[in-house]
């Protein structure tokens, strides 16, 4: 295999030398330059596998180089070296697409770790895209966009905050980010922050030394250490008590933790992903979540829209999940009746995909023959759809297009049901021509 090549951009000769020696001991050839101009010249004339750049350079800042690399479409992981304590700059760089950051003075173990992660980023985009598509189902524009974001963010190390209603797939997305990235071979540790008693939280997160409190009968590793080299997924991060929020902030900034009762800090290399179904920005405004921590964990936000806002996905996901469930139960795959499909598309799914899974599991167990009918779905429809007020439009949670599509779909499906699936009568009731009605049915996937 060819020796990997790294581009090092730093105006301090000592740092260039340190990086050069460390990289060559890792069998990586370093090309060192002092400024952005020279870096751009080299980037345009030869291939690199990694770029390490200082932030303050004589002819500009490292952010400009990060931007240049992103805009030129090179699949090149770039990490920035920042002055100690300047996390804000590191956050900006990661928002612009930097892979990771190192703070000065450069810790050699952290440098080696970062370089190994960068070189593990594989450009096999097509294969990864296929796997993501088979796991995170849905062909709506929103889901396609989410999958493409997952591919992008999997390559870097920036903390990601995944927002979305309960059951909308936040943990599934977190796992995909881990699996598609350079840490895939290392552990993915998921923790539900709401499920740990407050008094045990610090020890759960950072570990403890034997005898540090009553009940600490042996040394214990914390979650950060368990996830070392891999990914730590903090589910329901909104439930973290304020005291722990401070300690978490420190661990993220310093990339170091201190187990309870331990004198020394331990370096950890963890990618942090977090999620909650609560409105974290609102909690910051109310003072129950620290703003500085919010800013650190939310370098990049990924919002998962509720299933009802992407109704175009419902049929595909339902059919896929039903086939999967039937296979797992060694049963033949039943078909949905058209009425069952229409009812699923109209349903609100307050519990999102998780609820859809439960509905299908029950329907599979209860249905008779080779068909699943509306009755087998046992949907919790509390109000008559035609009398129910429409949900309010919420621009944070959905696009106007998908909201209107949703409203239109409901109107068409209700008219069809009321007219016993007679399209001519349904079109007449809605004041549309038959042709236009049929066109809309097709467009909205209701045929």
Ligand X SMILES: Nc1ncnc2c1ncn2[C@@H]1O[C@H](COP(=O)(O)OP(=O)(O)OP(=O)(O)O)[C@@H](O)[C@H]1O
What single-letter DSSP state applies at residue 355? H
Q: How distant, in Å, are the alpha carbons of 137, 391, 437 from that of 430?
A: 33, 20, 9
Torsions phi, psi for 371 (to 5 deg): -135, 145
> Which among 5-13, 94-102, 159-167, 405-413 is the span making contact with ligand X, rule CB under 6 A?
159-167
- For residue 199, the 8-state DSSP code is G
Q: Which of 128, 170, 123 is nearest to 273 (CA)?
A: 170
Pick from 97, 159, 167, 305 the residue near ligand X by CB under 6 A: 167
- Minimum Å gap between C-beta 272 and ligand X is 16
- Among 204, 357, 405, 406, the residue binding ligand X under the rule CB under 6 A is 357
Q: Report CA-CA distances (Å) from 225 to 127, 256, 424.
A: 31, 10, 65
Measured from the CB atom, is 83 or 365 closer to ligand X? 365
Which span sits near ligand X by CB under 6 A: 340-348, 353-361, 364-372, 396-404? 353-361
Residues 260-299 that bind ligand X (CB under 6 A): 277
> What's the closest the beta carbon of residue 379 comes to ligand X, in angstroms?
17
Tokens of 343: 């009812």
Of 317, 364, 413, 414, which lies in the binding site for ligand X, with binding defined by CB under 6 A? 317
The residue from 168, 180, 231, 298 that contacts ligand X (CB under 6 A) is: 168
What three-state secondary structure class fits 101? strand
Span interacting with ligand X, options 5-13, 164-172, 390-398, 437-445, rule CB under 6 A: 164-172
Shortest Cβ 353–ligand X spacing (Å): 3
Check if the beta carbon of residue 147 is closer than 8 Å to that of residue 173.
no
Q: For ligand X, give the closer residue by CB, 174 or 248.
A: 174
Q: Is 432 helix (H, G, I), strand (E, B) or coil?
A: coil
Q: Which is nearer to ligand X, 145 or 292 (CB)?
A: 145
Contact call for residues 117 and 76 (beta carbons, < 8 A): no
CA separation (Å) from 217 to 179, 266, 278, 355? 35, 21, 36, 42
- In the complex, the smallest distance separating the C-beta of residue 186 from ligand X, rounded to whole angstroms, is 20
Q: Please state the closest distance from residue 146 (CB atom) to ligand X, in A.
A: 8
> What is the C-alpha separation between 300 and 396, in angstroms, rounded?
16
Does 166 sit near ligand X (CB under 6 A)?
yes
By the rule CB under 6 A, 314 interacts with ligand X: no
Size of the residue set binding ligand X (CB under 6 A): 17
In angstroms, the CA 35 to CA 60 distance is 8
The answer to whether 170 contacts ligand X (rule: CB under 6 A) is yes
Q: Is 235 or 405 the residue whose CB approaches ligand X more closely? A: 235
Based on the shown chain and the rule CB under 6 A, indicate whether residue 160 belongs to the binding site for ligand X.
Answer: no
Q: Which residues of 236-361 form beta strands (DSSP E)?
A: 256-257, 266-267, 271-276, 300-304, 335-336
Number of Cβ within a 10 Å radius of residue 386: 11
235 interacts with ligand X by CB under 6 A: yes
The distance of closest approach from Cβ of residue 268 to ligand X in the complex, given in angstroms and rounded to an integer, is 24
CB of 296 to ligand X, least distance (A): 21
Span of 30-38, 130-138, 327-335, 418-426 interacting with ligand X by CB under 6 A = 130-138
Nearer to ligand X by C-beta: 169 or 181?
A: 169
The only residue of 62, 77, 97, 164 in contact with ligand X, by rule CB under 6 A: 164
Per CB under 6 A, 318 contacts ligand X = no
| 353 makes contact with ligand X (CB under 6 A) | yes
Contacting range for ligand X; rule: CB under 6 A; set: 59-67, 77-85, 350-358, 391-399: 350-358
Does the footprint of ligand X cover residue 159 (CB under 6 A)? no
Which candidate, 441, 436, 433, places its Cα nearest to that of 411? 441
Q: Do 210 and 216 form a contact (C-beta atoms < 8 A)?
A: yes
Q: Which stretch binds ligand X (CB under 6 A): 132-140, 207-215, 279-287, 291-299?
A: 132-140
∠ CA 84-204-241, nearest 5°, is 75
CA distance 310 to 402: 7
With CB under 6 A as the contact rule, the residue among 137, 160, 248, 372 that binds ligand X is 137
In 3D space, the residue among 284, 265, 135, 272 whose CA is nearest the CA of residue 193 turns out to be 272
Residues in contact with ligand X by the rule CB under 6 A: 136-138, 164, 166-172, 235, 277, 317, 353-354, 357
């Amino acid at each position: 295999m060819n020796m990997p090549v790294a581009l090092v951009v730093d105006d301090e000769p000592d740092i260039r030398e340190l990086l050069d020696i460390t990289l060559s001991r890792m069998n990586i050839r370093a090309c060192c330059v002092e400024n952005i101009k020279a870096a751009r010249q080299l980037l345009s004339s030869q291939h690199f596998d990694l770029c390490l750049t200082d932030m303050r350079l004589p002819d500009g800042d490292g952010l400009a180089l990060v931007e240049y690399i992103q805009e030129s479409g090179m699949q090149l992981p770039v990490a920035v070296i920042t002055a100690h304590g300047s996390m804000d700059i590191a956050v900006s760089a990661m928002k612009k697409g930097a892979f990771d950051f190192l703070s000065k003075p450069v810790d050699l173990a952290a440098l080696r770790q970062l370089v190994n992660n960068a070189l593990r980023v594989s450009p096999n985009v097509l294969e990864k895209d296929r796997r993501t598509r088979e796991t995170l189902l849905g062909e709506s524009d929103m889901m396609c966009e989410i999958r493409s974001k997952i591919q992008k963010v999997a390559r870097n190390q920036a903390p990601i905050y995944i927002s979305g209603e309960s059951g909308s797939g936040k943990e599934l997305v977190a796992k995909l980010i881990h699996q598609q990235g350079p840490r895939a071979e290392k552990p993915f540790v998921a923790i539900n922050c709401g499920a740990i008693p407050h008094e045990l939280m610090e020890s759960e997160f950072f570990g403890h030394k034997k005898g540090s409190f009553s009940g600490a009968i042996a040394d214990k590793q914390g979650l950060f250490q368990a996830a070392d080299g891999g990914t730590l997924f903090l589910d329901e991060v909104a439930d973290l008590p304020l005291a722990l929020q401070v300690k978490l902030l420190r661990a993220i900034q310093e990339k170091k933790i201190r187990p309870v009762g331990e004198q020394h800090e331990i370096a950890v290399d963890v990618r942090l992903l977090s999620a909650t179904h609560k409105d974290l920005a609102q909690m910051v405004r109310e003072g129950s979540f620290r703003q500085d921590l919010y800013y650190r964990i939310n370098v990049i936000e990924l919002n998962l829209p509720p299933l009802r806002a992407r109704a175009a996905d419902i049929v595909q996901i339902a059919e896929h999940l039903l086939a999967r469930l039937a296979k797992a139960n060694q049963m033949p795959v039943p078909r949905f009746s058209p009425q069952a499909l229409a009812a699923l598309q109209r349903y609100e799914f307050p519990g999102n995909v998780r609820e859809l899974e439960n509905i299908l599991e029950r329907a599979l167990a209860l249905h008779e023959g080779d068909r699943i009918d509306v009755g087998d779905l046992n949907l919790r429809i509390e109000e008559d759809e035609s009398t129910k007020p429409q949900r309010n439009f919420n621009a944070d949670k959905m696009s106007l297009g998908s909201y209107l599509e949703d409203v239109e779909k409901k109107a068409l499906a209700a008219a069809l049901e009321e007219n016993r699936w007679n399209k001519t009568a349904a079109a007449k009731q809605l004041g549309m021509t038959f042709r236009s009605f049929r066109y809309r049915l097709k467009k909205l996937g209701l045929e």
